[in-house]
């Protein structure tokens, strides 16, 4: 079975619910695409399977929350901080390089809906060279995130060419490779990929993964994780807190302990971004605080990630263990200060 790319094909292999059948693809959605590997992990008899909910769209995705001006398709205001169409410089010491908008499987909770799945493909050589020159002229930039889309949709040779562009300008530049292939199609992580990365010795690579549920840790995932870890590449995991999928202390406790045992550091537990079409996945912030408090009791410091939110309207990341949160007078919204002192609001429910 090849990747599933349409509701018609999906309906031939899965009994779809009315809610799933009501989904309409449009400018504010991401495409339907599910890899064979990920689809095979889904319990086909359970409409509430936590993996199914992550990749099978529903009509709830077409609700855009138009009544709230803070909910947008660009919650981090990346366009505002863009140097060009593919390089985002939001924080002084790091940049995000949008290598491609394509993914092997599209997450229904995707925060970069303004960009992901728009079929623009890989960054052009011209934009890549311009981006490398920008970074090369700014020594205050210490890290770059190769992200998208999914970086590993590119061939090893193409990715090597892009890495070379940046490392020629900045041999000391730490590179984060952001990918979900360890969950969606782990066989992509092979010895040829490892050998390509090991050609670059001047600064480290970090592999940034996204496992949201213990069911995603398959035998194939473990093999690929071991291949990376055995060859000296640190792995960091960024879990998104998702309603009806992993908003459960026992589920997250199992996930984070399993990841740590596999040498993957639980790094972030992200509160869902304030992006249109995803409100049905959003866990109330107070529930998130309860979960994090209980996880702190149950997990070691190594296994416990930072509970973190990207503030609406481009307010930047805040770590809730270091940030004071209050409520407005009507107790309808949380009031959160960004690290730069700006005020942002987040709903109670």
In the residue annotation, 112 being an active-site residue is answered as yes
Selecting among 91, 138, 263, 337, the annotated active-site residue is 91
Known catalytic membership, residue 190:
no
Is residue 201 annotated as part of the catalytic site, yes or no?
A: no
Residue from 101, 150, 247, 273 carrying the catalytic annotation: 273
In angstroms, the CA 259 to CA 119 distance is: 33
Cβ proximity of 242 and 109 under 8 Å: yes
The active-site residue out of 33, 53, 86, 94 is 94
Q: Select which of 33, 53, 103, 122 is catalytic.
A: 103
Is 110 a known active-site residue? Answer: yes
Active site residue 52: no
* Catalytic choice (86, 108, 112, 276): 112
Single out the catalytic residue among 74, 101, 107, 181. Answer: 107
What phi and psi, each to the nearest 5 degrees, are found at residue 319? -95, 120
Annotated active-site residue 66? The verdict is no
Residue 338 half-sphere exposure toward CB, CA atoms < 13 A: 16
Please state, in angstroms and rounded to a whole number, the distance separating the CA atoms of residues 178 and 161: 17
Could you tell me what percentage of the chain is helix, strand and coil, using 3-state DSSP and rounding each to the nearest 5?
35, 20, 45
Active site residue 178: no
Residue 252 · residue 291 · CB < 8 Å: yes
122 catalytic per annotation: no
CA distance 56 to 38: 11
Asked about 90 being catalytic, the answer comes back as: yes
Q: From the candidates 101, 110, 180, 247, which is the catalytic residue? A: 110
Q: Which of 49, 68, 81, 90 is catalytic?
A: 90
Residue 310 among the catalytic residues: yes
C-alpha span between 106 and 101 (Å, rounded): 10
Catalytic-labelled residue, pool 118, 263, 265, 317: 317
Q: Which residues are catalytic?
A: 90-91, 94, 103, 107, 110, 112, 273, 310, 317
């Amino acid at each position: 079975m090849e990747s599933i790319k349409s509701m018609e094909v999906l309906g031939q292999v899965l009994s779809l619910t009315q809610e799933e059948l009501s989904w309409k693809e449009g400018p504010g959605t991401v495409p339907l695409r599910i890899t064979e590997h990920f689809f095979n992990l889904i319990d086909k008899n359970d409409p509430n399977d936590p993996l199914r909910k992550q990749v099978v769209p529903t009509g709830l995705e077409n609700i855009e929350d138009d009544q709230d001006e803070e909910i947008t398709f660009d919650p981090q205001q990346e366009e505002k901080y863009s140097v060009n169409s593919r390089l985002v410089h939001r924080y002084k010491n790091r940049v995000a390089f949008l290598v491609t908008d394509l993914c092997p499987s599209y997450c229904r909770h995707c925060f970069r809906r303004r960009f992901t799945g728009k079929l623009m493909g890989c960054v052009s050589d011209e934009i890549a060279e311009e981006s490398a020159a920008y970074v090369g002229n700014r020594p205050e930039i210490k890290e770059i995130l190769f992200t998208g889309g999914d970086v590993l949709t590119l061939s090893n040779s193409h990715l090597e060419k892009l890495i070379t562009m940046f490392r020629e300008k900045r041999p000391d530049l730490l590179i984060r490779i952001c990918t979900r292939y360890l969950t969606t199609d782990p066989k992509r992580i092979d010895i040829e990929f490892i050998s390509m990365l090991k050609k670059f010795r001047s600064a480290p690579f970090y592999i940034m993964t996204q496992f949201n549920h213990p069911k995603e840790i398959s035998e194939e995932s473990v093999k690929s994780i071991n291949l990376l870890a055995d060859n000296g590449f640190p792995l960091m995991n960024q879990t998104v807190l998702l309603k009806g999928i992993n908003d459960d202390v026992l589920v997250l406790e199992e996930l984070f302990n399993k990841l740590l045992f596999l040498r993957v550091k639980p790094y972030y537990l992200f509160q869902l971004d304030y992006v249109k079409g995803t409100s049905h996945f959003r866990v109330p912030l107070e529930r998130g605080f309860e979960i994090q408090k209980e996880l702190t009791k149950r997990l070691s410091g190594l296994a416990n990630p930072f509970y973190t939110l990207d503030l609406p309207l481009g307010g930047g990341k805040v770590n809730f263990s270091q940030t004071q949160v209050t409520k407005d007078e009507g107790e309808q919204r949380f009031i959160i200060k960004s690290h730069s002192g700006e005020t942002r609001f987040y709903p109670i429910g």
